[in-house]
Structure 1
């Protein structure tokens, strides 16, 4: 299983010959400024089979329509309300809610609770915010989505051990580094990929200090550069 990080909460999962794009946020992303984000997309994203959306905030869904046009067979997977929103725009979707695992060609996917909010830029209600628990023959992965620390995280490892967890660490709108360390305890997962930091001024972090705090607790915080990948 390969994970390629872009910025914010946007990354690509490659598993079982399927490409899953999470929370696409390229246009309007301050990271790119005068850089050409379209060149970035063309270079790194040769194929997208699925788009997974954790919630409806613009910095997680703003490029869904672009990618649905670029990759005509893409399937958007999200909660019921978000799926309906994009289905009305002619995009192929698969809606779910907090419930059972659902089998896809890439593995089994479960939509799980997130302590956050969810609304589209036009004011449309975006349903319950969430994350994804992915079980595959290559290992299990937890994508928390935007969330604060929550007791529900203790349920996640009951379903099976995790190879890695993807958690927000920027603070203010989500967990910060200290809370992400506690979350890793709840999840029984020592390997954390940090996301949702540095994109905006209010979620800037000290990367070296953040890694040190995780290391002092016997855990690993992975912070990838734009376009950098890891295998898990």
Structure 2
């Protein structure tokens, strides 16, 4: 599985030649100034919740690539009203099958409102299951006991977790999350973009290591195989 990181919580995963793009927030992110959103490709766009820092570029990329937007019912309805015709609505506990993977929409504890103030439904995370790999993208969330259900759905190879604290889980809660989901390999997201979520990278990596976990912090614009 090839993963490309575009800053904040935006990343793309390539599975069997198909690209899943998550939470596109590139243009307003000063840390991602070297990423050209016009060159970001997608076959599907997954949006975890309605906050602008998770969907600012979703509409433009969807129009350019014709990628369907996958999110909760309220968010895809809103995109439909903005002229995006190809959407796939989901809700908590539901799953859909694509020709190369299965996607399950799971709980996240956060808030959600769309850029124009429209109700954005409840936030969520995604479990992606395929013959190649299984991974969990938590979205913006607090630590929750619901995470303990995830190993019943999938044996995870990777967890993509928010670690910036203040607005989501921080380092310690993310480590506890690893125990809940039975996955010790983590890629961190949702950190450094704003002053209140800046982290000490080396300290975070060492804290995970001391807990018997592996934390990877990808440089914006870079890719890695997982």
Structure 1 counterpart of 2:76, from 50, 73, 83: 83
State the TM-score, normalized to the length of structure 2: 0.96
Is 1:100 matched with 2:94?
Answer: yes
In the TM superposition, what is the alpha-carbon distance from 1:36 to its structure 2 partner?
5.5
Aligned length: 225
In the TM superposition, what is the alpha-carbon distance from 1:122 to its structure 2 partner?
1.2
The residue aligned with 2:30 is 30
In the TM superposition, what is the alpha-carbon distance from 1:23 to its structure 2 partner?
0.4
What CA deviation, in whole Å up to 9, does each residue of 1:168-227 have, x standing for no partner? 000001000011000001011010000000001110000000000000011100100012
Structure 1 counterpart of 2:44, from 37, 50, 55: 50
Unaligned runs of 5+ in 1: none
Q: 1: distance between equivalents of 2:79 and 2:136?
A: 24
What CA deviation, in whole Å up to 9, does each residue of 1:139-190 have, x standing for no partner? 2100000001110000001112100000000000100001100000101101
Q: 2: distance between equivalents of 1:194 and 1:62?
A: 20
Unaligned runs of 5+ in 2: none
State the TM-score, normalized to the length of structure 1: 0.94
Matched-pair contact (CA < 8 Å) for 1:17–1:106: no
The residue aligned with 1:41 is 37
The residue aligned with 2:122 is 128
Is 1:173 matched with 2:183?
Answer: no
The residue aligned with 1:4 is 4
In the TM superposition, what is the alpha-carbon distance from 1:30 to its structure 2 partner?
2.6
In the TM superposition, what is the alpha-carbon distance from 1:66 to its structure 2 partner?
0.9
Equivalent residue of 2:164, what SS?
coil
Equivalent residue of 2:187, what SS?
strand
